[in-house]
Amino acid sequence: MEDLYPSRQNNKPEILKRKDPVIHTDRSKDNQAPISKEQLDSYERNGFLQIENFFSSQEVTDMQNGIFELQDSSRDVTSEKVIREPQSEEIRSIFHVHNDDNYFQKVANDQRLLDIVNHLLGSDVYIHQSRINYKPEFSGKEFDWHSDFETWHVEDGMPRMRGVSLSIALSDNYTFNGPLMLIPGSHNYYVSCAGETPDDNYKGSLQKQKLGVPDHDSLRWLADQGGGISVPTGKAGSITLFESNTMHGSSGNITPYSRNNLFMVYNSVENALVRPYSGGKERPEFIAVREGAATLSGIR
C-alpha cells in the first residue's frame, strides 16, 4: 500500500501537508452532529476540542474508583501492559483497559462519546488503543512532543489520519500539574522524522520516546504557525478530543496534585491497520488492536 506519510526513512526531517480531512463527515451535515457548529469549527481549525463537565460527578467518582482499584490490583503484576516510571516502580500507565476490564469496556462504548466520534470520523469506529495514565504528584515525568499518528503509522500501519484520541480528565487539570499541551493547527502538517525504527522499539518508548521525535526546528515552526501552545485545563469529568496527528506533550509534575486520565483512541473501521510502514514487525495487540478491532455499538 502506498505510504502517504513516510517517516524515519531519511536522516533529515521534513514537513509534509496533511492529505486527509479533519472532520470526515461532510460539513453540510453539521446539523446532524451531536456538538455545535462552533465546536466542529474549533476542532477542525485547532485539531482539538475541550468539553467541560462532560461526565457527571457520580460518573467521575466511579471512574476514579475504577482507576485506583486497577492500580492497586496491578501493583505486583509483571505485565507488558503495566508501565512504570523510568526511575521508580510507580505505575505510569495501564494499557488495554477497554478490553480487559468490564467497567472500562462500558465507558469505551458510551453512546454519548460514540455519537461525537462517529461524526468526526464519518464511520463506525473501534478502539485502537486504550490506557489509564497516572501522573503522580511530585514525580510525574514529562512526555516529549509527538504526533501519535506518526507512531501509529510507522510502527502500527495505520494508513490515514482518521483517528481521534479522547482524554477523560479524572483529576482536576491545572496549568501547573503537567497538563496536556497541544500545538493548535499542528494536525495540518506531518513532521516526517529522521531515523529508523528498530524492532521492539515500544518497550522503551512507552517510558520515554526516542524515535519519531520531531526535531526542534519543526516544533518551533509549528508553534509559530499555530500561534503558540494551548493548555486546556478543567475539572475532572471534562474531556479533550484531539486529532490523531495533533502535536502534543506534557511537562513533568512536581506539584502535590496528581494528574490522571483515561485515554482511548477511536479509529475508523475504514482505516484498519495494515503492515507497519517501517517494514518491521507488528507491535503487540495491547498497544495496537488488530484481532480485537470490533465495531463499537454503543451503550446508553
In angstroms, what is the minimal distance from the CB of 257 to a copy of itself? 8
Taking CB under 8 A as the rule, does residue 193 contact a copy of itself?
A: no
- Least Å distance, CB 115 to a copy of itself, is 32
Number of residues that bind a copy of itself (CB under 8 A): 25
DSSP letters for the chain: ---SS--SSBSS-EEEE--S-SS-S-GGGGGGSSS-HHHHHHHHHHSEEEETT-S-HHHHHHHHHHHHHHHHHHTT---TTEEE-TTSS-EEEEE-HHHH-HHHHHHHTBHHHHHHHHHHHTS-EEEEEEEEEEE-TTTBPPEEEE-HHHHHHHHH---SS-EEEEEEESSPBPSSS--EEE-TTGGGEEEE-BS---TTTHHHHTTS--SSPPPHHHHHHHHHHHTS-B---B-TT-EEEEETT--EEE--B-SS--EEEEEEEEEEGGG---S-TTSSPPPPTTTS-STT-PPP--B-
**Binding-site string for a copy of itself from residue 231 to residue 270, where x marks contact by CB under 8 A and - marks none:** x-----------------x-xxxxxxx-------------
Q: Segment near a copy of itself (CB under 8 A), from 85-93, 190-198, 218-226, 279-287? A: 218-226
CB 150, min distance to a copy of itself, A: 17
Interface of this chain with a copy of itself, residues 146 to 175, rule: CB under 8 A: 174-175
**Any contact of residue 50 with a copy of itself (CB under 8 A)?**
no
Contacting residue, 51, 229, 293, 299, with a copy of itself by CB under 8 A: 229
Q: Which residues would be at the binding site for a copy of itself (CB under 8 A)?
A: 137-138, 142, 144-145, 174-176, 178, 181, 216, 219-220, 223, 228-229, 231, 249, 251-257
